[in-house]
């Protein structure tokens, strides 16, 4: 009986995308992958047709009805107004986990770090990648960094589940919680909480800057690394490059009910149509897809044929070296070489092995809804081009027995009271008003204060409530604020 076909969608992409997708699909077909493929158009052509997201509404249904999307790199047109298609797909479909294995293939691919085998697990839906930005004044621009408890729980648990299923020994967390005490602090806190449920797995935390330095210097010290979105995006590319080449790295984007698989490199339009591009990144993403689709035997078959091809020195131009390579081939010829080695295994490199149990189940996450939430004041951002003392005098005249001016800061530094003469200031000031009696205040009292400020002809650019949760401040102090 013929195997039931698995529906997937395929986007051949832009630039070198069609060539590497054709090579990848030919290998999958030769291996007997039971796939029902529907092609979808996304990327540059859709952007230029007037769709700023790069994807038509009708395409969403095709993707959602399939078990996975296999996507080649796309080109985003230059100029403003075009949204990142990758971010759009990941967030719209809830693909919260980005998984990037970064493996060294020494001595067949040059690297300074033989033995490197690191998996970056990157949160995919929030952080600065929500793209929420504002221009507050002529000189000041703002981007909101959003970190949520459910988002942290999902990605951190996924990382530990991945480590457990794939018999990894350690999970490392990178954050910058010495500075971002609430957002990155939450990520670190939940890492510690969830990590305690996996006593058999070693756990460690690094501040991201020194952690990145350690990753670049001694990548073999790491196993699985879990990070918020921005750090994960940057360091997964760094890890892939120091392992050997960004062109050899595939990426999985996993959600509760959908998945997207892609190479991590760009569309390289300068190399398009020349039969030069290395299809390995997309092929390794397709192997991740087969594992996700519970086609582990096929994933193993193709992965080992690819490893055997590398071992025999059959390389595309990007990894070809006189010392380690034997034959320089094009995109099509590389695909033919992998196909010819289906059924063979590498002799020097560790052979790939996938179990049918390698399918991570998604866990429920919690939301803390029973906290006592109280309002103690408000931060009001005000556009102001004169000196801070004049502004403080004006603001104090609006204070009453409900709310009083506690401090003014500029770019996070307290400048009133007691501004240092060396502190450089710009034209947007954060003015903190708190309860005059150390009691909770009402939204009506806040609105009355805002109305008094408007009557003073002040330009308010942004506001943020100062909440406490079970008596603990839900906001940070400015530098030097008491």
Tens-place pLDDT, residues 179-205? 999 999 999 999 999 999 999 999 999
| CATH (residue range 1-95+247-352) | 3.40.718.10
What is the CB neighbour count within 10 angstroms for residue 243? 24
What's the pLDDT at 428? 95
For the record, the structure tokens of 131 come out as 């793209």
Q: How many CA atoms lie within 13 A of 385 on its CB side?
A: 3
User: CA 242 to CA 403: how far, in whole Å?
Assistant: 55
For the record, the structure tokens of 299 come out as 């994933």
Nearest partner of 481 among 372, 375, 377, judged by Cα: 377
- Strand locations in 243-305 (E): 250-254, 259-263
112-243 has the same fold as 1-95+247-352: yes
Tell me the three state secondary structure of residue 353. Answer: coil
Question: 112-243 architecture in CATH?
Answer: 3-Layer(aba) Sandwich (3.40)
State the sign of the Cα–Cα–Cα–Cα dihedral 410, 131, 90, 86: negative
Q: Where are the domains of the chain?
A: 1-95+247-352, 112-243, 373-473
Q: What does DSSP say about strands 224-227 and 170-175: parallel, antiparallel, or unpaired? A: parallel
| CB-CB contact of 375 with 469 (8 Å) | no
Binned at pLDDT 50, 70 and 90, residue 370 comes out as: confident
Task: Decide if pLDDT at 433 tops 80.
Answer: yes
Binned at pLDDT 50, 70 and 90, residue 439 comes out as: confident
Q: Count of H helices and E strands in the chain? A: 13, 20
What's the pLDDT at 53? 86
Report the pLDDT averaged over residues 6-23. 96
Report pLDDT digits (tens) over 59-69: 999 999 999 99
- Selected residue with higher pLDDT from 360 and 354: 354
| CB-CB contact of 54 with 74 (8 Å) | yes
Report pLDDT digits (tens) over 73-118: 998 876 666 778 888 899 999 999 999 999 999 999 999 999 999 9
* DSSP characters over 13-73: -STTHHHHHHHHHHHHHHTT--EEEEE---SHHHHHTT-TTSS-HHHHHHHHHSS-EEE--
| CB-CB contact of 298 with 31 (8 Å) | yes
| CB-CB contact of 174 with 188 (8 Å) | no
- Selected residue with higher pLDDT from 420 and 314: 314
Question: 373-473 architecture in CATH?
Answer: 2-Layer Sandwich (3.30)
What is the CB neighbour count within 10 angstroms for residue 204? 16
User: CA 283 to CA 14: how far, in whole Å?
Assistant: 17
Output the average pLDDT for the chain. Answer: 93
| CB-CB contact of 182 with 189 (8 Å) | no
- Strand locations in 276-412 (E): 314-315, 327-328, 373-383, 403-410
CA 85 to chain centre: 13
What's the pLDDT at 366? 67
Task: Decide if pLDDT at 1 tops 50.
Answer: no
């Amino acid at each position: 009986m013929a195997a039931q076909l698995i529906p997937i969608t395929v986007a051949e992409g832009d630039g070198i995308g069609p060539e590497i997708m054709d090579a990848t699909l030919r290998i999958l077909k030769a291996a007997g992958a039971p796939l029902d493929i529907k092609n979808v158009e996304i990327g540059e052509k859709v952007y230029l047709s007037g769709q700023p997201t790069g994807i038509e509404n009708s395409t969403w249904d095709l993707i959602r009805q399939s078990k996975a999307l296999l996507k080649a790199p796309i080109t985003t047109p230059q100029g403003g107004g075009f949204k990142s298609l990758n971010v759009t797909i990941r967030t719209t479909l809830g693909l919260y986990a980005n998984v990037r294995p970064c493996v060294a293939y020494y001595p067949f691919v040059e690297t300074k770090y033989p033995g490197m085998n690191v998996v970056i697990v990157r949160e995919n839906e929030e952080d600065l990648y929500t793209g929420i930005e504002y221009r507050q004044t002529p000189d000041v621009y703002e981007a909101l960094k959003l970190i949520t408890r459910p988002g942290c729980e999902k990605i951190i648990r996924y990382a530990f589940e991945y480590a457990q299923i794939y018999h990894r020994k350690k999970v490392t967390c990178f954050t910058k919680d010495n500075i971002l005490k609430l957002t990155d602090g939450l990520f670190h806190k939940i890492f510690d909480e969830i990590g305690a449920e996996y006593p058999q797995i070693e756990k460690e935390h690094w501040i991201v800057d020194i952690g990145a330095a350690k990753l670049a210097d001694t990548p073999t010290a790491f196993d699985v690394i879990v990070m918020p979105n921005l750090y994960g995006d940057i360091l997964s590319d760094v890890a892939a490059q120091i392992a050997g080449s960004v062109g050899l790295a595939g990426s999985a984007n996993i959600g509760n009910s959908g998945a997207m698989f892609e190479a991590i490199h760009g569309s390289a339009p300068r190399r398009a149509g020349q039969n030069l591009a290395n299809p390995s990144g997309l092929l390794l993403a397709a192997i991740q897809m087969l594992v996700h689709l519970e086609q582990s035997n096929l994933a193993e078959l193709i992965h080992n044929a690819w490893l055997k091809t590398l071992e025999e020195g059959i390389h595309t131009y990007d990894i070809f070296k006189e010392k380690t390579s034997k034959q320089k081939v094009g995109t099509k010829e590389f695909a033919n070489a992998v196909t010819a080695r289906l059924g063979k295994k590498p002799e020097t490199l560790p052979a790939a092995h996938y179990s049918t149990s390698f399918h991570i189940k998604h866990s429920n996450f919690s939301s803390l809804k029973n906290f006592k939430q109280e309002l103690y004041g408000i931060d009001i951002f005000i556009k102001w081009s004169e000196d801070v003392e004049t502004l403080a005098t004006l603001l104090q005249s609006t204070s009453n027995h409900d709310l009083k001016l506690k401090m003014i800061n500029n770019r996070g530094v307290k400048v009133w009271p007691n501004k240092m003469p060396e502190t450089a200031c710009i034209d947007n000031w954060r003015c903190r008003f708190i309860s005059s009696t150390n009691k909770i205040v009402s939204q009506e009292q806040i609105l009355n204060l805002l109305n008094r400020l408007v009557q003073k002809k002040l330009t308010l650019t942004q506001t943020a409530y100062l909440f406490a949760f079970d008596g603990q401040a839900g906001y940070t102090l400015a530098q030097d604020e008491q």
